[in-house]
Amino acid sequence: MKLITMKRVTIVAEALLADRLQEDVVRLGASGYTCTDADGKGSRGVRASEWEGKNIKIECVVQPDVAQRILKKLADVYFEHFAVIAYCHDVEVVRGEKYS
């Protein structure tokens, strides 16, 4: 069994952004993602409106450079106008013999 270190990126956003965000993460290099419905409550920061209601949580496991591109895209394009939070952390991913 071989473990490799990758980044798990988590994006929590208003449900209306689901399609756009899923297209973004794939275009920026993710080979896959999961998308889960979540209730939530949040604030975007000092100047942002509160939001409460249906959110989605998109998660993908990617190489570090892909994680960087996804987080930068979110900060550049979405943060000013939408309720979005995003973060990442290291995970140890198991690869089968066939993929090593």
CB of 95 to a second copy, least distance (A): 7
Contacts of residue 53, defined as CB under 8 A and 6 or more positions apart, other chains included, come to 14, 15, 39, 40
Using CB atoms within 10 A of its CB, is residue 81 exposed (0-12), middle (13-18) or buried (19+)?
exposed
Q: Residues in the site for a second copy, rule: CB under 8 A? A: 1, 3, 6, 8, 10, 12, 22, 26, 31-47, 55, 57, 61, 68, 71-72, 74-76, 79-80, 85-99
Q: What are phi and psi of 55, to 5 degrees?
A: -120, 170
CB of 93 to a second copy, least distance (A): 4
CB of 27 to a second copy, least distance (A): 12
Q: In sequence order, what are the beta bridge partners of 94?
A: 3
